[in-house]
Structure 1
Amino acid sequence: MFEMKTIGLFVLTAIAEIVGCYLPYLWLRQAGSVWLLIPAALSLVLFVWLLSLHPEAAGRVYAAYGGAYVAVALAWLWVVDGIKPTNWDFVGVAVTLAGMGIILFAPRA
């Protein structure tokens, strides 16, 4: 159960970070409204708060979070941007998630 909660928290954290970065992108590159910056800032605040909820040491959390971020970013690419990831993208996600699992769930003394 701990593992599922941790992974779920990482996914929520990644979504908050991606939304917080995607909205300014829409403003800067897609002629979006400047008002997009308000929910972007709130999303980044949520991102930082979610990262603080992890019980592990901060460095380990940040390292493992990278794997979840890569997976969620490619899902975003597919769902939001409408670009299907390549087979190499899927292989890369599998490798990163394996690394994330090793970092997070390895036995500790």
Structure 2
Amino acid sequence: MLIARSAALFVVAALFEIGGAWLVWQGVREHRGWAWIGAGVIALGLYGFVATLQPDAQFGRILAAYGGVFVAGSLAWGMVADNYRPDRWDVTGALICLAGMAVIMWAPRGR
């Protein structure tokens, strides 16, 4: 159950961080305005809060592992929001990052 909770928190964090960054991008680069930028800033703040809910208390471990989720999530977001089509190397790289995340977070440790 702990792994499922942790994985779900990573997904929620990714939605806030990637979504927030995308909103800021849209506000600035696509000239959609301050409301989009403001919504993005709020989402980015919520990402920071969600990261604190992880069951592991090690900041460095959580952020390092989240990096793998960020990579895969960014590609998925691009597919949904911007019609981006990753090639096999994008997918391979994302899978390697997710494997690294799983090792960092859930490898058995002698505690």
Q: Fold conserved (TM > 0.5)?
A: yes
> Is structure 2 residue 65 aligned with structure 1 residue 64?
yes
Task: Give 5+ residue unaligned stretches, structure 1.
Answer: none
Q: Deviation of residue 53 (structure 1)?
A: 0.5
For residues 30 and 97 of structure 1, the distance between their equivalents in structure 2, rounded to whole angstroms, comes to: 31
**1:78 paired residue number:** 79
SS of residue in 2 equivalent to 1:31: coil
Residue identity (%): 37
For residues 59 and 39 of structure 2, the distance between their equivalents in structure 1, rounded to whole angstroms, comes to: 26
Q: Deviation of residue 55 (structure 1)?
A: 2.2
**2:99 paired residue number:** 98
**Moved segments of 4+, more than 4 Å:** none
Look up the equivalent residue of 1:76 and give its one-letter code.
Answer: W
Task: Give 5+ residue unaligned stretches, structure 2.
Answer: none
Q: Deviation of residue 47 (structure 1)?
A: 0.3
For residues 94 and 22 of structure 1, the distance between their equivalents in structure 2, rounded to whole angstroms, comes to: 22
Task: Tell me the TM-score normalised to structure 2 length.
Answer: 0.92
Task: Tell me the TM-score normalised to structure 1 length.
Answer: 0.94
